[in-house]
Structure 1
Amino acid sequence: MAGSEETWEKAGPAAFALFLALAAVPTAVFALLAFLGELRPFMALAAWAVCSLVAIAFALLLGRDVAVMTRLVRALRIAPGALPVDRQLLVPGMSDLGAEALRLIHAERLSRARNQASAAEDRALVERLPDPLLKLDRHGRVVWRNNSAITAFGSDMAALMRHPDLRAALAEAQADGQPVRREIMLSAPVTRDLEITIIPVGEPLYMLVSDRTRERALEKMRADFVANSSHELRTPLASLIGFIETLRGPAADDPEAQQHFLGIMAEQAARMQRVIGDLLSLSKIEISEHSPPKEMQHLPFLLERIVAGMEPMLKAQGTQLVFAAPADLPQIQADADQLTQVFTNLLDNALKYGKPGGEIKLVATDQPDTRFPPGGIIVSVADDGIGIPREHIPRLTERFYRVDKGRSRSIGGTGLGLAIVKHVVNRHRGKLVIESEPGQGTVFTVWLPGPSR
């Protein structure tokens, strides 16, 4: 486009020089005719003057039209059809030529604008890809990478680019000219399972990286979950089958043994019922985990109802509950049933693992805490029990994970309570922090965001 405008700017002086040169031709002819005596000097001079004037006038007129065209090109802001070309250009045929020139320039500008917009959209799309994308030269060096690649690998790409499987995939893609896919595992700075796709496009290579670490972890978690849940149900089920066979056989006529075995069977059936109930509850929570609750709830009133429901168990164990929840706490978006399940589970755990006749603290506040974002409500449940060794804390919210399996089962634990707590807190877009020291008790702290978040 810039080249077209420069051409029009230079055309005016060029046209004027051309027609001055053309005026020199009749000058030479008339001078020759006068020299040979074919024309009288006065007639030759008059004819020369007329021809020169016409040539100069036409050259000036053409130069003027070219200058007008240059001005129109520079001022081109609207569609060519709206420009008054026919009223501004005086040389015959220049109006059509000018209109066509403006149309071509407008089309060129429009095409360039579309190409630039398309390139900008393509670049924005590539930058916003959730997976890292890198452009490599023929030597396998990184030329460019999108924001996801910067976020995923930072400034250090050495661990990825030096991986032997990746180097082999790059060589294969360059040799065959076809996309190559590989799965590699990085061990530094953290262990990651990556799926690499090398796409040759001419000389450069594009590398798309998909992080499969989470999917692999979920696959392992599902496998562990099936194995653990099967084990949790198989044990009481095997006990029930064994006692039923005993009652049908050796203990068929022994009332005392029957009562003993029936008591154990009732305990095992109740255990199975608790496990199945918690599994169903967990599945229900996971289904709705992506959608945060919309209802507004007043947390102090909810906690008061939970505490009232726990009073019989507290009295049975002689445990004192210290409860503090200011009535003026702001309302939050929450699912009342799910939060009831969360704090009931936490209080139940504190009661089970706390000291007999000890103290449990349930405190709700909206005071700022550096561990959490500003705003929202913080609820903590603290006991004075035996505590939890530090190495177990990161895994407490895993399904069926128990620090002391024997004690947990003996007191009726299913190993799913804290998993339910974690998923409910996740659905509320909150945070769960667990702090514990052996011999000093455990504190579970739940942060729930306010309605503005």
Structure 2
Amino acid sequence: MNWLLPRFVLAALAVVAGVFFGHWVGRLLHLPFLSEALSAAIAVVALVIVDAVRGHRLLQWLRGPQLDAAPRDAGIWGELGYRVERAVRERDKVIASERLQLEQFLSAIDASPNGVLMLDAQDHIHWCNRVAADHFSLDPVRDLRQRVTNLLRSPAFVSFLHTESYETPLLLSNVRGFGTLSVVVKRYGDGMKLVLSQDITERERSDAMRRDFVANVSHEIRTPLTVLAGFIETMLSLPLTVAERTRVLTLMGQQTDRMQGLVSDLLTLAQLEGSPRPTADRWLGLDALLARINSDAVALSGGRHQLKVQLDTQVELAGVESELLSAAANLVNNAVRYTPAGGEIDVSWRELGDGSGELCVSDTGLGIAREHLPRLTERFYRVDGSRSRETGGTGLGLSIVKHVMHRHGGELQIESEPGKGSKFRLALPAIRVRHVGEPALGVEAANAPR
């Protein structure tokens, strides 16, 4: 109420000024009643003019952007301006806080790995994040307020968007370069829709690989079991000579070995996938490993190939000996199996400038077409299935090699060309390579006794 006193003072001053002015005019004109009326009118007019000026200034401030301070007049107009200004500032703070929260919320949605598309009641794009823009080839700025069905003309999507029930997600294949999208629509607000999209290409691929894996395992095991069952039935139902019995038993043994090899490889893969990465403090000699590989390759080749194995590398590798031996042996055995008689097989070690190294297995076999190279490490993938079975392969060897290298921080690199042979490299990082007698480095050096 601090505006009330100035208000009374202003009114009193206006009355006094009006009385003096009216008294002077009344004496001048010899009209005493006119002086009284004129005094009251002057006082009222003075108050109205002052209030009008102050009210106009406040209204001008309210019509503007309210960036500067409100008029600081005395009396009720000053108090009113202060109150209005404070309310405006509080409103601006609330709006700024809500805008910041909205921006943070939209930023969080924008960072989501899933696509988010907001549509109004007429299916116009209200907002979308970057992932949804990538999924549907939209521009997050340019395409706002555009009808989504005009931009995305997939009949399946348009039909799904206009359906009444969204309980089952829509699967879209080959949408603007993507393999498979899973699209879910949720209603919210007043007829608005929330379109959620997820790229499930890898999941679909993994599911397909798992189905193929189960089918391949069933097929690979069923084949030798069928052969064994047939031989057993033959031995039980037919009188066989000693030679025939020996031949049947030999074939049964081969099928049993094939099935045991398959089961062994499956168990190896399961163990590799479920085991922690080996530490880099257990060292093994590469020369001893290559000597064992050379002995097995000579026995498998039977003199049909020209084998050249580098046996004097003076290098040690950090890792699990059985796994590294399995990886290298798989590559050498494959080279022996798939290289025609008279071909050359070379196994060598090469050190790189950054301290890393690679074990290279090259052959002069038939080679592999470029389109098959990315899939060679898939389980049971064969370039020529019949030829692979004839050579005794299970289709899991390169998959085992890939897993061994990943566990040791390395990489399997493949180069091949039809008619020019193949080259497989086991690339190992510098932390797992050292020369014989070289002092320990890194973590191993920190843990070494002093």
Per-residue deviation, 1:423 = 3.4
For 2:339, which of 329, 354, 375 is the aligned residue? Answer: 354
Query: Is 2:291–2:311's contact at 8 Å kept on the other side of the alignment?
Result: no
What is the SS of the residue equivalent to 1:227?
A: helix
Distance 2:220 2:416 in 1: 27
What is the SS of the residue equivalent to 1:402?
A: coil
For 1:398, which of 373, 378, 395 is the aligned residue? Answer: 378
Letter in 2 for 1:262: L
Query: Is 1:271–1:412's contact at 8 Å kept on the other side of the alignment?
Result: yes
Q: 1:378 to 1:393 in 2, by over 3 A?
A: same
Q: 1:171 to 1:403 in 2, by over 3 A?
A: closer
**Counterparts of 1:45-194 in structure 2 under 5 Å?**
111=94, 114-136=97-119, 140-152=123-135, 154=137, 161-172=152-163, 182-187=169-174, 189-190=176-177, 192-194=179-181
Q: 1:444 to 1:328 in 2, by over 3 A?
A: closer
Q: 1:117 to 1:367 in 2, by over 3 A?
A: same
After superposition, give the CA deviation of every residue in 1:142-165 in whole Å (9 maximum; x if it has no partner): 454323234445568999811012
Letter in 2 for 1:295: T
Distance 1:418 1:241 in 2: 30
Letter in 1 for 2:296: M
What is the SS of the residue equivalent to 2:287?
A: helix
Distance 1:164 1:228 in 2: 36
After superposition, give the CA deviation of every residue in 1:401-448 in whole Å (9 maximum; x if it has no partner): 222333322332111111222334445565444222222111123445
Q: Does 1:229 align with 2:213?
A: no
Query: Is 1:297–1:336's contact at 8 Å kept on the other side of the alignment?
Result: no
After superposition, give the CA deviation of every residue in 1:186-228 in whole Å (9 maximum; x if it has no partner): 3365462222122344465432112222222222222221111
Distance 1:111 1:450 in 2: 58
Per-residue deviation, 1:236 = 1.1
Query: Is 1:431–1:446's contact at 8 Å kept on the other side of the alignment?
Result: yes
Q: Does 1:416 align with 2:396?
A: yes
Query: Is 2:110–2:130's contact at 8 Å kept on the other side of the alignment?
Result: yes
Distance 2:180 2:234 in 1: 51
User: What are structure 1's unaligned runs of at least 5 residues?
Assistant: 1-10, 38-47, 49-72, 76-90, 369-374
Distance 1:278 1:185 in 2: 37
Query: Is 1:185–1:191's contact at 8 Å kept on the other side of the alignment?
Result: no
Indicate the residue corresponding to 1:80 in structure 2.
none
Q: 1:376 to 1:28 in 2, by over 3 A?
A: farther
Q: 1:103 to 1:336 in 2, by over 3 A?
A: farther
What is the SS of the residue equivalent to 1:412?
A: coil
Indicate the residue corresponding to 2:243 in structure 1.
256
Distance 1:169 1:323 in 2: 64
Letter in 2 for 1:218: S
Distance 1:265 1:207 in 2: 59
Query: Is 1:251–1:258's contact at 8 Å kept on the other side of the alignment?
Result: no
What is the SS of the residue equivalent to 2:368?
A: coil
Query: Is 2:405–2:412's contact at 8 Å kept on the other side of the alignment?
Result: yes
For 2:279, which of 284, 289, 295 is the aligned residue? Answer: 295
After superposition, give the CA deviation of every residue in 1:231-278 in whole Å (9 maximum; x if it has no partner): 1111111222222233334246x3333322222222111111110111
Indicate the residue corresponding to 2:258 in structure 1.
271
Q: 1:265 to 1:167 in 2, by over 3 A?
A: same
After superposition, give the CA deviation of every residue in 1:319-375 in whole Å (9 maximum; x if it has no partner): 42343997689x88x65544433222112211222244522233333348xxxxxx9
What is the SS of the residue equivalent to 2:195?
A: strand
TM-score if structure 1 supplies the norm length? 0.66
Distance 1:74 1:429 in 2: 64
User: What are structure 2's unaligned runs of at least 5 residues?
Assistant: 33-42, 44-66, 70-74, 140-147, 432-441, 443-450
Q: 1:402 to 1:123 in 2, by over 3 A?
A: same
Distance 2:314 2:133 in 1: 47
Letter in 1 for 2:414: I
Distance 2:361 2:7 in 1: 96
Indicate the residue corresponding to 2:352 in structure 1.
366
Distance 1:304 1:347 in 2: 15
What is the SS of the residue equivalent to 1:361?
A: strand
Per-residue deviation, 1:396 = 2.1
Q: 1:304 to 1:154 in 2, by over 3 A?
A: farther
Distance 1:231 1:130 in 2: 38
After superposition, give the CA deviation of every residue in 1:12-55 in whole Å (9 maximum; x if it has no partner): 9xx98996466314544677799899xxxxxxxxxx9xxxxxxx
Distance 2:222 2:397 in 1: 20
CA-based RMSD: 5.0
For 1:436, which of 384, 406, 416 is the aligned residue? Answer: 416
Q: Which moved more, 1:401-410 or 1:102-111?
A: 102-111
Q: 1:324 to 1:30 in 2, by over 3 A?
A: farther
Indicate the residue corresponding to 2:330 in structure 1.
345
TM-score if structure 2 supplies the norm length? 0.67
Distance 1:255 1:111 in 2: 98
**Counterparts of 1:188-203 in structure 2 under 5 Å?**
189-190=176-177, 192-201=179-188, 202=190
- Count of residue correspondences: 385
Residue identity (%):
33
Distance 1:258 1:276 in 2: 27
Distance 1:377 1:141 in 2: 58
Query: Is 2:412–2:425's contact at 8 Å kept on the other side of the alignment?
Result: yes
Letter in 2 for 1:238: T
Letter in 1 for 2:280: M
Per-residue deviation, 1:310 = 1.0
Distance 2:231 2:136 in 1: 59
Distance 2:176 2:426 in 1: 31
Distance 1:426 1:384 in 2: 27
Distance 1:121 1:403 in 2: 52
Letter in 1 for 2:212: D
